[in-house]
Structure 1
């Protein structure tokens, strides 16, 4: 939850430690590594891959859809706030946002 609340940038190594990515590689090796992973999966029976993915995803489907809906509702609500407008303006102007005196900032 810290990463979501702080918007902290995380390194590739930390993302791997957290289980967000399964493998790290050098940028120049990315396409080769991705293709190797794709080819490894392509050797498996498609029906097995489909059922494996369904087994993993199905128990979480309703919770994921509900979370997505909550996220969309929150984003729509927050995108029009003065703090959000200041953040987007600051980003476009390549400066740090100044939330002093801004409601919700």
Structure 2
């Protein structure tokens, strides 16, 4: 079990990852959750592709993973606006597979992990590999593009301002440079 960004990631011995999100999953945190095989959210969870509000663009394969979860049009809207998505909307959009009460989140994730573990490991491994192979066309290219584009963003005045504003807990003032 690993803990990250207000979420808990459970990794099954066969590489199945369950994200239990109980709070903010914003920017890279949302994309780390999207990388999990299964995502469960508490009613207290919320998600955002907040990068643009910091003068940056999505990273951690967000431009690859989000459209596959919600469709291209909705992904573009979420990426372009940095809008916050509450847990029930995340369920409706397909970002998460379940929403539970905060005090039920970890038990729900553990129960799901136990249910998966009761099955034969080989078909689980093969099914995961098959699903990934059917959807993986281009993730390396997406990651390379994101890295190059993010490096450009980090070198701009808006990127510096966005990060500075975030650290200073204020709204950024972008100048388009």
Kindly state the Cα deviation for residue 59 of structure 1 after the two structures are TM-superposed: 2.3
Q: Residue 41 in 1 paired to residue 116 in 2?
A: yes
TM-score, normalised to structure 2's length?
Answer: 0.55
* CA root-mean-square deviation: 1.1
Which runs of 5 or more structure 1 residues have no equivalent in the other structure? none
The structure with the greater share of residues assigned to strand is 2
Aligned length: 102
**Larger gyration radius, structure 1 or structure 2:** 1
Runs of 4 or more off by more than 6 Å in structure 1? none
Which runs of 5 or more structure 2 residues have no equivalent in the other structure? 1-75
**Residue equivalent to 1:66:** 141
Moved more, 68-77 or 41-50: 68-77
Kindly indicate whether structure 1 or structure 2 has the higher relative contact order, using CA contacts under 8 Å at least 6 residues apart: 2
Q: Distance in 1 between matches of 2:135 and 2:142?
A: 10
TM-score, normalised to structure 1's length?
Answer: 0.90
Q: Distance in 2 between matches of 1:63 and 1:14?
A: 28
Write the mapping of 1:11-50 to structure 2, written as runs, cut at 5 A: 11-50=86-125
